[in-house]
Structure 1
């Protein structure tokens, strides 16, 4: 177990700038999608803000790949789903169900397992 955690820490240290940028990109895209939902399908300011945030997230993803390994950074895109669960609960008063919790835990575990071992 020590070897796995040691590899994980080394991978994070090697890719830390890319990881930080990718997490921020995932947060931007999750906020962008939330604003799309808030726009209620109408062409309005909320929709435009959503597009801007989503574009920022996409641009940040491209930038992040310059600062880390693809095999570590790409799985972090799935963290956007985790952000979406919490944004939905906090801003849209959506219920967090047991299925949401289990899915969120599985996403985080999978992301750590796939992206944590940079070779």
Structure 2
């Protein structure tokens, strides 16, 4: 357990930046969906957010191990599920919740696996 906590401490800035990258890319994808395939402001905002997510991802690699940080991009699926439900009024099924729980547990375990 101590190595898990030490890994989180050692990579904490990178982890925070990678979670921000996941948030930005999930938001960008949501704006793409909201644009309905047309070239409009929502599409442009989506591209800007997705670009910022990529920038955050690149910067995060300076503050942690690749093997710990890159898998944390899967948190974007959790954000996408939340945004789809709350903003786009999409239905969440039981299998969505189970899959999301698996993603969260897996991301937490990988985040602490820097040995």
Deviations 1:85-107 (A, max 9, x none): 00101100111110110000111
TM-score (norm 1): 0.93
Match of 2:6 in 1: 10
Q: Please, what TM-score do these two structures have when normalized by structure 2?
A: 0.96
CA deviations over 1:68-101 (Å, ceiling 9, x no partner): 0111101100000010000101100111110110
Q: How far 1:9 sits from its partner (Å)?
A: 1.1
**Are 1:68 and 2:70 matched, yes or no?**
no
Give the match for residue 17 of structure 2: 21
Q: CA RMSD in A?
A: 0.8
Aligned residues: 115
2:14 is paired with a residue of what secondary structure?
A: helix
String of CA shifts for 1:32-73, please: whole Å, max 9, x gaps.
Answer: 000000000000000000000000000110000000011110
Find the counterpart in structure 2 of residue 116 from structure 1.
Answer: 112
Q: Quote the Cα distance in structure 1 between the aligned partners of 2:67 and 2:82.
A: 26
Give the counterpart of 2:28 among 32, 38, 52: 32
Tell me how far apart the structure 2 counterparts of residues 58 and 12 of structure 1 sit (CA, whole Å).
22
Question: What secondary structure sits across from 2:59 in the alignment?
Answer: helix
The structure 2 residue matched to 1:45, chosen from 41, 44, 50, is 41
> Match for residue 107 of structure 1?
103
Give the distance between the partners of 1:17 and 1:54, measured in 2 at CA: 20
Q: Tell me the residue number matched to 1:94.
A: 90
For 1:84 and 1:8, the matched residues in 2 are separated by 27
Q: Which runs of 5+ in 1 are unaligned?
A: none
